[in-house]
Structure 1
Amino acid sequence: MIMKDIVCFMPVLWASVSCARILGIFHIPSFSHQLVYQAIWKQLSLRGHQVMAVTTHPLQDPELTNLTEIDMGEVISTAINQTSIPEIMSKEVPLLSLVHNLFQVQYKIAEAVLSDKRFIDVYNATDAGFDLILAEACTLPTLYAVAAKFKVPFIGISSYGVWAGVHYAMGNPHPTSLYSEMWSTFRYPMAFSERLRNTFYYIWTRYYLNFEALPKCDQIARKYLGNDLPYIQDIEKNMSLLLLTTNPILYEPRPNVPTVISMEQMHIKPVKPLPKDLKQFLDSAKEGAVYFSLGSNVKSINIPEKLRKLLIEAFAELPYKVLWKFEDDNLPGKPKNVFIGKWIPQQDVLAHPNVKVFVTQCGLQSIEEAISRGVPMVGMPFIADQTRNIRRLSEEGAAIGLDHTTVTKEEFKNAIIEVISNPKYKENVKRLADIWVDHPLPSLNRTIWWIEYVIRHKGTKHLRSPTADVSWFEYLLVDVILVLLLAISLVIFVLYKTVKFILTRICGGAKIKQN
């Protein structure tokens, strides 16, 4: 207890804050994304705060004595067991359908979390007394309502960027001529047709949010948390801070409001020794090794059989050894140069000097790990933001992108050989790594500073942008434009009437004189 008090009140370089009670709600069942949040709630716990984390992937670290974790993994998996995330977020799914699908999943997850007895006991406890809520910032704000019930500030956190609706709520500038949805393939500079489609999407999201999604979120929140709550959109607009895992490489620079803070490479850890079998395999790869993984959402075991056979044939013909994250004990037709594993310590594997290329689905966390370890990539995007990610990496000369639906064996082999044999890819990855981490403070320290800033000042009303309170009608100056158009029309009308009157008098007078 004495040691905890020392940690809690120990002065640090940036500021100190008394012990706070923090509730974190991290509800999206994706291991790679939860890794980002784990780093945050672990560090808050180590700094002496009393932390309760509602998560799908608990740390289960007995040394973190002031950390309580509620494991929602099974509850949420059961709630969405008929939903395949790779299917509903596939790059082949139209954007409007993708967003609609995500909303439907979010409704189910929110209901599952709020109806869980363990969590009910938390948000109904009269002595809970939390000082801050950390909530995963996804497509819908339903679970932000917990902060309104406790009447405390809350911070939104995302393990990548956020969709346009969150930018609207924060008052963050989002002109459709410059910025598209993070799941869209449009990038600046956009062609006219892209700007036109992006504008239609903007109009649709405004309609869908205000008339369908937000009313549904509000209904779910009131069902479990009571009717004594502000409207859910008003709750979201009062977000004290928005922490985003963005970076200047994959995301276009934008003029964020003061309460939007970028963080990156939160989950990167020091290199640890590899398991003996992996070490022996990679040490023996004198010609180099290829590491292949499709992450935690898109699993190799679930890819189409045609693609799997193509990969097997291509790997068999390569002069390199291949380490493949494959979620089964048996890979039919496995070549002799391929080593499979259900689970691979990815960051440590990428740090091995013999790993020359990372064949990846291009999820943000995987990219961060590859960049931090200096490994160039061959990207095959499947879902969400992965298409945009590999496009940017290709433009930066750090990767080669392939379409898994059309790629041939020769294209796949040639891409791997090109990335390994051409030193420009390795050099460009190192260049990006230097840019990515060049900050005054390490990302985790900076993130914790901002979280404790919110605790110290009980919110960030003094940093709130006025754009968060302006309606779209006023923000786009629709009323001003209508008044100007009306004024111009009136002037034109008066001029028309005046000229007509003058001409009538002149013409009429001339006619009388002639007669």
Structure 2
Amino acid sequence: MVNFRLIFLACCVVGSVNGSSRILGIFPTPSISHQIVFSALMENLAKRGHHVVTMTTDPIIYKEKIPTLTQIDVHELSYKVWKQQFDFVKINEETKSPKKFMEKYYRLMCSMVQMQMKTPKMQKLLNDPSEKFDLCFFESVAPHVNPIKDHFNCSLILISSLSGTLQDFDALGNPSNPVLYAGMMSPYMDDLNFWQRLHLTYLDVMYRHMYYFKMVPLLDERMKKVFGENIRSVDEIQKDVDMLFLNLHPIFGAIRPAVPGIVYMGSLHIKPTMPLPSDLQKILDDAKNGVVYLSLGSNVKSAQLSQVKINAFLEAFKELPYTVLWKWENETLPGKPANVHISKWLPQQDVLAHPNIKAFITQGGQQSMEEAIHHKVPLIGMPFLGDQDLNVRKMVKFGIGTDMNLYTLSKEIIVNSIKKVVEDPSYRENISKLSNLLTDQPQTSMERAVWWTEYVLRHKGAKHLRAPGTKVPAYQYFLLDIIAFVLVCAVVAIYIIVKISCEIHKRFIRKPDKPKKS
């Protein structure tokens, strides 16, 4: 049998022979769930001897310093703007429109990137003529930073902690069909009826109009103030990308055609289990009936829920026999039952690895779901915004969890959902099967990401892996000119046939009228 691990290691050795490279990572979104994915890859590349510089909103503090890794910290100003203008609970109450959500995100990121680029360390990096980079990694949902590629004249890999956006797939010429391949924030999944397909087509057209005709001009205008008037359009640079890294598994993501320039990773941030703090270890060990873990991620704060919803959770937990571990952002939780333990921060991966965890109540974030699947913990999803709705639908489809709606949430729904997932063995069986499917691969996600990164470095780009559709205008890509030509030919042919038929009928078939008597 071929040992793929040895082949990978041999290829890595070959890649390392060429010497280290200078790599720049720009990751502007202030969300720890995004940043842990990027930092994991940057850390591994630095440990392989590459000189890595990253701009991050959540720098990692390592026990031992990595000499080839430099982190530019933009945490304070980024989170200040983020918390003031991007309240997930409030936005969820105001709108469920993916298009409006993304438009709000792009506008907010304009202001944030402008501030991030003006920090002293970023100014020093951008204005130092001696700084050279062989490769840039940019967060794919932040095309605002694309002009940095031209500034350093280097290869570009877009990386997403989620799935890809429409413009990501367009950049590599990858097929995008709103009906066949569910988008990151699609409201539907499989077995669509006509009206759902019509709705998805409408959303696709509206999103493209919003991005290409409203957001791109806005981004260009704002980014010229940062990078100068002579920069290329952010969309033009986006289409100059070499590869796209997506942090999801095709099976659990979306089975779709993918050009070779798209690399699916999935679970890139998963790390070996570490020992828990002693007090937390005791709580989990002493939970004779098992533990229900509740965390709404890094962007959605449990403490921001309405008091009615908080009370529903407290009343439900009081009625259940399980120990509850709740990521709660405040110091105290009034009315907290004895079986509920709160903490502002919890080592989620290590908590989920504990054998007493029976269920995980989550907002449906990509990284949280991957961690639960990896540790085979059944899920209860309560989505808010972004890709969370679709993720929770996938959870239900695969039979690895159930869902709750924030608007209809009540004590009875919470109690029934927890009992359903904990007491029905099918949920744990299904998530165990799915976990085995996703991990049965010839390479780990990190090995695959590192290999393709060094592939781009070795060949100074990878544009040969893109589809030819990147250079084809939309009217040609969708065969609109062909369809129009065929329709015109058909209309002309029908017209000629009708005219000839009428003439034949008039001359040879129709009898002449009898003359009227005078």
TM over 0.5: yes
> What's the offset of the Cα at 1:15?
3.8
> What's the offset of the Cα at 1:105?
1.7
Gaps of 5+ in 1: 1-8
Residues 108 and 40 (structure 1), Cα distance of their counterparts in 2 relative to 1, 3 Å cut: same
Distance in 1 (CA, whole Å) between partners of 2:147 and 2:305 is 38
Q: Contact between 1:293 and 1:324, CA under 8 Å: does it hold in 2?
A: yes
Instruction: Using the TM superposition, name which of 398-407 and 217-226 deviates more.
Output: 217-226
1:315 aligns with 2:327: no
> What's the offset of the Cα at 1:33?
1.4
> What's the offset of the Cα at 1:69?
0.8
1:283 alignment partner, one of 269, 277, 285: 285
1:105 aligns with 2:103: no
Q: Structure 2 matches for 1:50-199, cutoff 5 A? A: 50-61=51-62, 62-87=64-89, 90=92, 92-138=95-141, 140-199=142-201
Q: Structure 2 matches for 1:365-384, cutoff 5 A? A: 365-384=367-386
> What's the offset of the Cα at 1:398?
1.0
Distance in 2 (CA, whole Å) between partners of 1:310 and 1:32 is 27
Q: Contact between 2:250 and 2:264, CA under 8 Å: does it hold in 1?
A: no
> What's the offset of the Cα at 1:389?
1.3
Query: Aligned letter for 2:12?
Result: V
Residues 59 and 298 (structure 1), Cα distance of their counterparts in 2 relative to 1, 3 Å cut: same
Distance in 1 (CA, whole Å) between partners of 2:480 and 2:515 is 52
Query: Aligned letter for 1:392?
Result: K
> What's the offset of the Cα at 1:252?
2.1
Q: Contact between 2:181 and 2:255, CA under 8 Å: does it hold in 1?
A: no
Q: Contact between 2:103 and 2:215, CA under 8 Å: does it hold in 1?
A: no
Aligned match of 2:5: none
Percent identity between the two aligned chains:
37
- TM-score (norm. length: structure 2): 0.93
1:12 aligns with 2:15: no
> What's the offset of the Cα at 1:81?
4.5
Q: Contact between 1:161 and 1:246, CA under 8 Å: does it hold in 2?
A: yes
Q: Structure 2 matches for 1:408-487, cutoff 5 A? A: 408-487=410-489
What do residues 330-361 of structure 1 show as CA deviations (whole Å, max 9, x unaligned)? 11011011111111111111111111111111
Distance in 2 (CA, whole Å) between partners of 1:438 and 1:85 is 38
Q: Contact between 1:244 and 1:262, CA under 8 Å: does it hold in 2?
A: yes
> What's the offset of the Cα at 1:472?
1.4
Instruction: Using the TM superposition, name which of 332-341 and 187-196 deviates more.
Output: 187-196
Count of aligned residue pairs for this structure pair = 506
Aligned match of 1:505: 507
What do residues 356-392 of structure 1 show as CA deviations (whole Å, max 9, x unaligned)? 1111111111111111111111221122111211221
1:46 aligns with 2:51: no
Instruction: Using the TM superposition, name which of 23-32 and 109-118 deviates more.
Output: 109-118
Q: Contact between 1:379 and 1:390, CA under 8 Å: does it hold in 2?
A: yes
Distance in 1 (CA, whole Å) between partners of 2:483 and 2:153 is 39
Aligned match of 1:386: 388
Query: Aligned letter for 1:333?
Result: G
Distance in 1 (CA, whole Å) between partners of 2:44 and 2:297 is 25
Q: Structure 2 matches for 1:327-342, cutoff 5 A? A: 327-342=329-344
Distance in 2 (CA, whole Å) between partners of 1:12 and 1:483 is 52
Residues 10 and 66 (structure 1), Cα distance of their counterparts in 2 relative to 1, 3 Å cut: farther
Query: Aligned letter for 1:109?
Result: M
What do residues 26-58 of structure 1 show as CA deviations (whole Å, max 9, x unaligned)? 111111111111101100110011110000001
Q: Contact between 1:90 and 1:384, CA under 8 Å: does it hold in 2?
A: no
> What's the offset of the Cα at 1:506?
2.8
Aligned match of 1:3: none
What do residues 50-107 of structure 1 show as CA deviations (whole Å, max 9, x unaligned)? 1100000011335211111111111222344431241475385223322221221222
Q: Contact between 2:182 and 2:254, CA under 8 Å: does it hold in 1?
A: no
Aligned match of 1:6: none
Distance in 1 (CA, whole Å) between partners of 2:226 and 2:413 is 53
What do residues 144-175 of structure 1 show as CA deviations (whole Å, max 9, x unaligned)? 11101211111000001022222222211111
SS of the residue corresponding to residue 329 of structure 1 reads coil
Instruction: Using the TM superposition, name which of 375-384 and 72-81 deviates more.
Output: 72-81
Q: Structure 2 matches for 1:229-308, cutoff 5 A? A: 229-308=231-310
Distance in 1 (CA, whole Å) between partners of 2:107 and 2:476 is 31
Gaps of 5+ in 2: 1-8
1:37 aligns with 2:38: yes
Residues 206 and 392 (structure 1), Cα distance of their counterparts in 2 relative to 1, 3 Å cut: closer
Q: Contact between 2:382 and 2:405, CA under 8 Å: does it hold in 1?
A: yes
SS of the residue corresponding to residue 255 of structure 1 reads coil
Distance in 2 (CA, whole Å) between partners of 1:260 and 1:90 is 31
> What's the offset of the Cα at 1:288?
1.1
Instruction: Using the TM superposition, name which of 431-440 and 104-113 deviates more.
Output: 104-113
Q: Contact between 1:14 and 1:449, CA under 8 Å: does it hold in 2?
A: no
Q: Contact between 1:315 and 1:338, CA under 8 Å: does it hold in 2?
A: yes
Q: Contact between 1:290 and 1:359, CA under 8 Å: does it hold in 2?
A: yes
Query: Aligned letter for 1:83?
Result: Q
Q: Contact between 1:163 and 1:182, CA under 8 Å: does it hold in 2?
A: yes
Aligned match of 1:212: 214
Residues 111 and 171 (structure 1), Cα distance of their counterparts in 2 relative to 1, 3 Å cut: same
SS of the residue corresponding to residue 12 of structure 2 reads coil
Q: Contact between 1:165 and 1:205, CA under 8 Å: does it hold in 2?
A: no
Aligned match of 2:407: 405
> What's the offset of the Cα at 1:509?
8.4
Instruction: Using the TM superposition, name which of 232-241 and 244-253 deviates more.
Output: 244-253
What do residues 400-432 of structure 1 show as CA deviations (whole Å, max 9, x unaligned)? 111122122122112212222221111111111
SS of the residue corresponding to residue 495 of structure 1 reads helix
Q: Contact between 1:361 and 1:380, CA under 8 Å: does it hold in 2?
A: yes
Instruction: Using the TM superposition, name which of 104-113 and 459-468 deviates more.
Output: 104-113
Q: Contact between 1:29 and 1:77, CA under 8 Å: does it hold in 2?
A: yes
Q: Contact between 1:89 and 1:384, CA under 8 Å: does it hold in 2?
A: no
Residues 390 and 10 (structure 1), Cα distance of their counterparts in 2 relative to 1, 3 Å cut: closer
SS of the residue corresponding to residue 24 of structure 1 reads strand
Instruction: Using the TM superposition, name which of 498-507 and 376-385 deviates more.
Output: 498-507
Residues 231 and 411 (structure 1), Cα distance of their counterparts in 2 relative to 1, 3 Å cut: closer
Query: Aligned letter for 1:315?
Result: F
Residues 336 and 79 (structure 1), Cα distance of their counterparts in 2 relative to 1, 3 Å cut: closer
Instruction: Using the TM superposition, name which of 328-337 and 183-192 deviates more.
Output: 183-192
